Each structure stands twice: as structure tokens, then as C-alpha cells.
Amino acid sequence: MAASTSIGLFLFVGFIVARTKAGPIDIKTKGAKGDGVANDAEAIMTAWKEACDSPNPCQVVIPPGTYMVSSPLTLSGPCKNPIEINANGATLKAPSDPTGIKGPGWIIFKNVDKMTLSGGIFDGQGQEAWKTNNAAKTGKCDLPYNFRFDMVKASFIRGITSMNSKHFHMNFLGCDGTTVEKVTIEAPAESLNTDGIHIGRTDGLNITDCTIKTGDDCVSIGDGSSNIHIEKIKCGPGHGISIGSLGKYPDEAPVDGIFIKGCTMTGTDNGLRIKTWPGSPPGKAVNMHFDDVQMENVGNPILIDQEYCPYVGCKPETNSSKVKIADVSFKGIRGTSSTKAAIRLLCSKDIPCEKVELADIDLKYEGKEGAGAISECKNVKPITTGKIIPEACAAPVEPFKEKGGEADSSS
């Protein structure tokens, strides 16, 4: 009896193990060619659907090789169990034709929980598209993002490379509890509107240990973002790390709880900035903290700009921003500024900034405008702690012009 009981138990445990471990699904078994010419989008979607419908956790494997994905790749849930897409050693390419991908995204994940995307190079081949981008004149950019993550929750994006996106590299909308780590984003400084990571309407997103080289913001944070933690980001070239722009549209949700720490900015047009539109509807951005950031030849290392106006059509001199900015700290910010005004706190005339803290700041400038950085303030009285170089709010405010244009970055 004891022997038969043991055998029965063994068979039962084996059955449970078999139920809980599904074999990997190789996209080549679904018809992917991997020759860099044939469109492999359908094979990838077929593998995804099988994994999504699996009663057990499942892995989709994109083996080493070059895969042309010349139509939008939409990978939707909800799925029955967690899915991993493993693309280690693989390169996926979008068509170089700016009109080749119709719609807002090249690779789109939506309505998925507990997903992992790991490894692989995703090349948007955006060089031709950047030449057609006229966002500086129109404020609009209809080119696709490399990645859209819509309602992708409790998930991991790790170890991937996004190259030469036609528009933003990654857009996260409603991606609560998700982690982005060891991601590389690459595009040249002259690539227009190629934000590295854009975040909107998300509660709890962690971004850590990433390298971002691009032609726009390395990270941009839109309305409705809360509990966002960004650490160990190497940024540059690019426009720095930005909260905003905010206040362009009515009924924007508040920004509350942004924590940026231990980052390095190299040769960026801006460093750490908060930007809101003049003449904006009412809004709120609070509880934002920047800590331990190294600046290397960075323009506007510390910048609150409530007169943000990158193209014609707004009048900051007559229309104040209605976005309330409060509870902001810049601590341990050090290095070199490529502009004389290393600290610019340009707050709203109608709703001045409150509780802005500067602590242990050491920013130096040595350039054509003469040695020594300066600090400019408008409609704010910052709290200072420790040594502040340059001295806080010691210089008259000079006219400030934004570099370049910005596309509509709504999510």
C-alpha cells in the first residue's frame, strides 16, 4: 500500500509540474523567416496569442537573427497567465519609409498584467522620418513610437535596446507597478521629438540603471503621474529629464510624487526641469524631488519654467500659468553648466511656487559670458540649506528662449 501511495503521489506531483510549466514558443515554428526582409509580424502575433491563451505561464522566444516587422505589432491581453518575451540576440527592424507604419505605434502592448520583455534590439529606422518632422511649426507629430505600453501593469521591461525611433521611443500609459531596468535608448542629438521614455497617468513606475541618448527629453513625465522613481539614469545627448510640459489641456490630472536620484546628465540642453504652459487651465504638480545628480556641461541644470513656449501661439508675458507647483527639492546637484544661468526658477505670477528647496548645490560655469554661474528667480522664495553655488536668486531675470519645438506629447 505504501508503494502504491508513493507512486500515486509521484504521478500527481508530476501532473501539477506539467500544468505549471508550459514549453517555450519559438516564433520560427509559427512561420517567422528571420531573414530581415519578409514581414514577421504575423508570426510574432500568432506566438503571442498562443501564449496569451495558455493555461500556464508561457515564454515566447524570438531567437537570434534579424526580423523585419513592417506592420504594427499589437500584442493585447488580458492573458490567462504571465508571459515572457525573450528576444536575446535578436534584432527587429521597422520599415525605413516614414509612411510604412500607420498609427501611433510600431510595437504596442496593451491590457496585459505580469508581462516580461527581455533582450533584443528594436530599430525604428527613423532617419528618413526625422527629415519630414515639422512639429516645430505645427505642434503635431504623426509618426509612430517604437513602443507603446498601454495599461501594462506589474510588468518588467529589462535589457532591451530601442534605436532610432521615428517619434518617442517608449510611451507608458496606465502602467501601474511596472519596472524598466537596464534599458538602452539610442538616437542622435538631431533626431526630432524622440523622447526616450514618456510617462502619463501611471501610479508606480520604476526606471533604473538605463542609458538614454536621444534628440529630446531622456525622460518626460506627463499629467496623472504619481509615485514615479527614477534612479541611475545616464542621459545625454538629449533635453534632460522633464516633468511636463503641463497645462496644455483642460482637466489634466495632478502630478504627485516624482523621485529622481543618482543620475548623470552629459551635454544635455537642459538638466532637471519642470515646465508648464502660460495661460494654462488650473492644474497641480507637487511632491517632486531631485537628489544626487551630476551635471557635465549641461544647459539650464536646474530649471522651473512656467513660461514654457517652444513655438508661436502663446504669450507668457500676458498669460500666467495656472499650474500650481509646490513641495519641490533640488539636493546635491553638482557639476558644470554650459549656460551662465545655472539655476532658473521662473514661476507663475498668478500662482507663485511654494516650498521650493535648494540644498548643497555646486554648479560652475566657465564660458564666453564670463566666469561664474548665476541664479535667477521669479515669483518664488526658495528655502536654502548648506552651500549654494551660485547664490540663490542673486541675478536679475533675463529673457529666456526655449530651444527647438515640441510635438504634442499627450498620451
Q: Which one from 167, 229, 239, 289 is the annotated catalytic residue?
A: 239
Q: Is 167 a catalytic residue?
A: no
Distances in Å between the Cα of 223 and the Cα atoms of 32, 41, 173 are 39, 33, 10
Q: List the grid coordinates of 47.
A: 506566438
SS3 assignment for the chain: CHHHHHHHHHHHHHHHHHHHCCCCEEHHHHCCCCEEEEECHHHHHHHHHHHHHCCCCEEEECCCEEEECCCCEEEECCCCCCEEEECCCEEEECCCCCCCCCCCEEEEEEEEECEEEECCEEECCCHHHHHHCCHHHHCCCCCCEEEEEEEEECCEEECCEEECCCCCCEEEECCCCEEEECCEEECCCCCCCCCCEEEECCEEEEEEEEEEECCCCCEEECCCCEEEEEEEEEECCCCCEEEEEECCCCCCCCEEEEEEECCEEECCCCCEEEEECCCCCCEEEEEEEEEEEEEEEECCCEEEECCCCCCCCCCCCCCCCCEEEEEEEEEEEEEEECCCEEEEEECCCCCCCEEEEEEEEEEECCCCCCCCCEEEEECCCCEEEEEEECCCCCECCCCCCCCCCCCCCCC
Question: What is the set of active-site residues?
Answer: 239
